Amino acid sequence: MHNPPDINYPRIIRAGDRAVTVEFSSTIDEVSNRQVLALDTCLSTNPPAGMLETVPTYRSLTVIYDPQVVRGAAMATELGHRAALQASSDTGGRLFEFPILYGGEHAADLDDLARMKDLSVEDIIRLHLEAEYRVYMIGFSPGFAYLGGLPEILHTPRLAVPRQRIEAGAIGIGGQQSSISSLPGPSGWRFIGRTPAKLFDVRRDLPFLLKAGDRIRFRRISEDEANDLDRRVARGDIIVREIAA
């Protein structure tokens, strides 16, 4: 699927009386996501008058502003100028290594996924491990990470009926993406394992472990190592490792 030929990007969309959205694409892809994050960085570094908050997504950025400080038309014009400058920008995020335990009680869908794909469980694990993932967006619940880069052979629709509770740290597959759950809650993703790492922790100076634009590689661990890391995380340790690109 490509952008409609009759729409020029980036395009500016008024979103009510105190927000403007900048769209870089109609599809989810790394290029447009990099442009979103580049504009977000630009606005954070040098915010226009009246800007209150930015909300980055896969392919767009919404800017919330104070209408008593700046008119919507002026904000839209300013964002249009800045967005045009991000057409070829690149924001290389941090690269992290995350431990992951495949199988077990947090991998309710691993065996079914292997049957659906006519692959062995070890094949599914190998394919998932080999990829490098990009954090496209943080959302749904605090710290929840949407990951692009899932090998095409593992693309799988979400469950028709969501489960009512999935634990924090669960690693899922949904559509063309993988994910890391940050808090317990309902989910329709298909889960294949878990990480002891805590994506959201109010005890930390920076509660969110990841941000959009970061990249992830997974490292397979044993159940004994996972239990040891669980104990470290409970003490407040950060167990993920930032690695050189």
- Over residues 193-220, the mean pLDDT reads 93
Q: Which tens digits make up the pLDDT trace of 100-115?
A: 999 888 788 999 999 9
Note the residue count of the chain.
245
pLDDT at 74: 95
The chain-wide mean pLDDT, for the chain, equals 90
First CA to last CA distance, the chain: 30
- Over residues 46-54, the mean pLDDT reads 95
* Tokens linked to 13: 């969309």
- Over residues 130-146, the mean pLDDT reads 92
Give the residue among 236, 119, 125 at the shortest CA–CA distance from 171.
125
Q: Which tens digits make up the pLDDT trace of 11-38?
A: 999 998 999 999 998 887 888 888 999 9
User: In terms of CATH, what superfamily is 95-242?
Assistant: Cyclophilin-like (2.40.100.10)
Give the residue among 148, 194, 199, 193 at the shortest CA–CA distance from 174.
148
11-84 fold: Gyrase A; domain 2 (3.30.1360)
pLDDT at 6: 55
Contacts 24+ apart (CB under 8 A), 50-54: 50/75, 51/75
Cβ neighbors of 68 (< 8 A, separation 6 or more) are 50
Domain boundaries, the chain: 11-84, 95-242
Instruction: Please determine, for residue 87, whether its predicted confidence score (pLDDT) is greater than 60.
Output: no
Q: Which tens digits make up the pLDDT trace of 142-199?
A: 999 999 999 999 999 999 999 999 999 999 999 999 999 999 999 999 999 999 999 9
SS3 label, residue 228: helix
- Over residues 236-244, the mean pLDDT reads 89
How much is the pTM?
Answer: 0.81
Contact 97, 217 (CB under 8 A): yes
* Tokens linked to 227: 């239990």
Residue indicated by tokens 């996924």: 113
Which residues does residue 51 pair with via DSSP β-bridges, in sequence order?
Answer: 65
pLDDT tier for residue 4 given thresholds of 50, 70 and 90: low
Instruction: Please determine, for residue 86, whether its predicted confidence score (pLDDT) is greater than 80.
Output: no
Alpha-carbon distance of 220 to 195, in angstroms, equals 9
pLDDT at 1: 42
Amino acid, res. 174: G
